[in-house]
A and B are shown apart, each in its own frame.
Chain A
Amino acid sequence: MTAEKTTTPLLQVKDLHVWFELRRWGFSHAGYVKAVDGVTFNLDYGESIAVVGESGCGKSSLMRTILGINKPTSGQVLFEGRDLTRFSRAEWQSYRAKVGYVQQDPFGALPPFMNIQQILEEPLIVHGIKDAAERERRVRKAMEEVRLTPADDFIQKFPHMLSGGQQQRVVIARAIILEPKIVVADEPVSMLDASVRVEILKLLRGLQQAHNLAVIYVTHDLSTVRYFSERVFVMYAGNTVEKAPIDSLLQNPLHPYSNALLDATSDPDANNALTYRELPPGEPPSLVNPPAGCRFHPRCPKAIRGLCDVEKPAEFEPENGHQTACWLYKA
């Protein structure tokens, strides 16, 4: 688990809302896309959490806000106790060096016209490391850490000459080259072959342990979460509906949506072909006009009429360290 608990968590997200304005004809206001609508959590040094949810649940927007690409509409994001929205330019630059980003598409994440050395040097140059020898040293060190060795074989190559797995290693090397404290990995293996996925996830796990990195691993594939994270957040339509240590979630999912996700995930088992899976009907809601009350209630098999469709559920903690936003667990 975590190394030691310091008094200030590394990252604190407090009631974060990220709304995107929709404009008609570039001028008039046509509503908001409420991508993130009230998310609160803490992240400790060296802790590895997974954020699980389907597309459109807001997990990518949440990550982009943490990375500083989006601006919060309301709420706070505190890094080591300091509010991101109040950062000066210098503070932003220093923050950006402390958060690494691993993206989903390994080929798209690398500029095709730069070779590996240039790609890995970019963050160093941007952060003012002028000495070329120093940059080369750090580039080689990063390549060694992601096991792209011998470095000389790869350093002059261009992205299209590498396999998907190798490309993703370069992306990871770029994410850690500035020695960050947090790494945000947004679906880092979903575009890779099944057999390479495990390799990359193990690499990330190794790096996390070696450098005491906090890792936020965003995915929609629950089966991988087990080996690579300690805590899991489940997101639906802009809210976190359940937060728990991974084993608690797998053994005792509290929220009906988490249950549905677990039920829908397959393990390789020939008996699967003999039965139909039970799934919630319908589709995730529009983020412009989400349903009133609990956003899952139109699809929920256990919805309580008069409560779930009227009032947004508060967060309850039926077990220690296991929270869920569902009226079924009203204390």
Chain B
Amino acid sequence: MKTLQRTLAELAQYPSAIFGLLVIGLLALVSIYAVIAIPYQQAVDLWRGGEKIWYKTPKMVPPAWVNFFRAKKLPDTLSLSTVDTPSIKQSAASGDGQKINITFDFDFNADEFPQELSFYFTSTFDKKAPFVSAVWIAPDGRETRLVDYALQSPKQTFRFSQDKKLLTRLFGKLPQEALFAVPKSDPLTPLKGKYQIQLQITTFEKASTVDVEFVQYGKVYGLAGTDHQRRDLLIALLWGMPVALSFGLIAALGTSLASMVIAAFGAWFGGWVDELIQRITEINLVLPFLSILIMIGTFYDRSIITILTATILLSIFGGSIKGYRAIFLQVREMPYIEAARAYGASDARIIIRYLLPRIIPLLIPALVTGIPGYVFLEASLAVLGLGDPVLPTWGKIIQDAEFNGALFNGMYYWILEPAALLMLTGLAFSMLGFSLDRIFNPRLRGL
């Protein structure tokens, strides 16, 4: 039995083990961060999404860093709001209400046009609605009138591309393109530079207030891009990590320990106990594992706890029992076991104190190498539509992507991001597992 220190020292000799340990360490740290920064309930709420939460993000756009690899830069998403930066709002009293001047300044340096532009008005008023007028000022000084109207409800949205008056003013061209275009360019090319929007809002009541948010929906967003429900994929990628790791770890650990104890039990007592365990194992090996999980998920409950429990129960009586039993049968014949019986050790003591420690060198590498299998299992079930309905996991991302034709439509990031993380996890654990195997089972060293 090697102490932890010696094991770590030996592991340091294998570059693959160092890589595996580093990656696993990283994954573990990120998982902890994810669970702390975005507590469970918040994550579930965010993922359930909806217009109220995800209104500021574009639909199905790749992450912002793809611009690094592109010659023609895609426009980023940006939002400017009077709530966030009250300084851009200046109010002066006028009559019963106020005259509010708001200036939005921003730069535009992309080579393509944004998806959409919108104003989100939040106002309070009693009977008389505030009146809004906005002007768009291009870097070269050209002004375009955007909107002149009275607000009709406390929450109102002005989508540039849907306003008929604006469309007419721009000669039928899409506002998100025309407003950014170099004048008289054909095809339209963007004009880079500083842009400004000036809003003049007049309120007619003393208590009336108005807040405006301007959102430019770019063609990229954030670190991970967005999906069809405008959700930031980073949430799911981050949260998927602890889910994957804990599912894998608990399943692998639970299965290995239970298999080990059952195999020891059967091997020690022999006779009908052993025969029974072997027959149960053989029947269980024939049963279709995935199909049964699918049945459980479809007819009973898809929550991750249920699936985890079912996985463990079905895996306990698996092939590893046969392997452990073979080892135990050999150990049982060793002289020190005979000696233990001679000085009166009980069966329980022999199993726990003498048989089980012999299996640890086999168990630990098998455990570590088995974790990726369970991680992939959970992802596979999610892809098949049987993932936990509320949790954001990697498999869920892949399922959404597939369902929305991601590859067909060229949205490669949507599939590649969760896939890359799955592969990285699998690789890290496998490399660590193989190195551990070589340490604990020296006969494999030459390989």
Contact = CB atoms under 8 A, between A and B. Distances in A.
Direct contact of A and B (CB under 8 A): yes
Contact of A108 (B275, B335, B341, B342): B335
Interface residues of B, number: 19
Nearest to B354: A111
Interface stretch (B93-101, B242-250, B344-352): B344-352
B350 to A, nearest CB: 10
B358 interface: yes
Chain B interface helix/strand/loop/mixed? helix
Interface stretch (A38-46, A91-99, A259-267, A322-330): A91-99
- The interface centre, meaning the residue of A93, A99, A122, A171 with most chain B CB atoms within 10 A of its CB, is A122
A108 B336 contact: yes
Given A96-B342, A96-B343, A127-B344, A110 B1 contact: no
A244 to B, nearest CB: 29
A105 interface: yes
A104 interface: yes
Contacts of B335: 103-105, 108-109
Interface in B304-338: 334-336, 338
A113 B358 contact: yes
A309 B146 CA distance: 124
B130 to A, nearest CB: 81
Contacts of B341: 68-69
B26 interface: no
Contacts of A101: 338-339, 342-343
B45 to A, nearest CB: 51
B334 A126 contact: no
B349 A126 contact: yes
A99 B354 contact: no
Interface string A99-127: 11101110011110100000000110011
Nearest to A93: B344
B416 interface: no
A174 interface: yes
A68 B336 CA distance: 15
A109 B339 contact: yes
A122 B340 CA distance: 8
Contact of A99 (B275, B340, B342): B342
B405 interface: no
B346 A69 contact: no
Contact of B343 (A26, A104, A113, A174): A174
A99 B334 CA distance: 20
- The interface centre, meaning the residue of B339, B340, B341, B346 with most chain A CB atoms within 10 A of its CB, is B339
Contacts, number: 56
A178 B342 CA distance: 12
B357 interface: yes
A178 B346 CA distance: 17
Contacts of B336: 108-111
Interface string B1-27: 100000000000000000000000000
A328 B358 CA distance: 54
A108 B331 CA distance: 10
Interface in A61-110: 64, 67-69, 92-93, 96-97, 99-101, 103-105, 108-110
- The interface centre, meaning the residue of A68, A109, A111, A178 with most chain B CB atoms within 10 A of its CB, is A111
Contact of A68 (B339, B342, B353): B342
A96 B344 contact: yes
Contacts of B353: 122
Given A111-B354, A113-B1, A113-B357, A123 B334 contact: no
A103 B339 contact: yes
A262 B343 CA distance: 35
Contact of A69 (B1, B334, B338, B354): B338
Contacts of A96: 342-344
B404 to A, nearest CB: 55
A110 B354 CA distance: 11
B344 A174 contact: no
Interface of B: 1, 275, 334-336, 338-346, 349, 353-354, 357-358
26 contacts: A26-B275, A64-B338, A68-B342, A69-B338, A69-B342, A96-B343, A96-B344, A101-B342, A101-B343, A103-B335, A103-B338, A104-B335, A105-B335, A110-B336, A111-B354, A113-B1, A113-B357, A113-B358, A122-B340, A122-B345, A123-B344, A126-B349, A127-B343, A127-B344, A174-B339, A178-B343
Interface of A: 26, 64, 67-69, 92-93, 96-97, 99-101, 103-105, 108-111, 113, 122-123, 126-127, 171, 174, 178
Given A101-B338, A101-B343, A109-B335, 10 more contacts: A64-B338, A67-B342, A96-B343, A97-B344, A99-B342, A101-B342, A108-B335, A108-B336, A109-B336, A122-B353
Of all A-B residue pairs in the complex, the 7 with the closest CB atoms, nearest first, are A96-B344, A108-B335, A123-B343, A101-B342, A109-B335, A113-B1, A111-B336
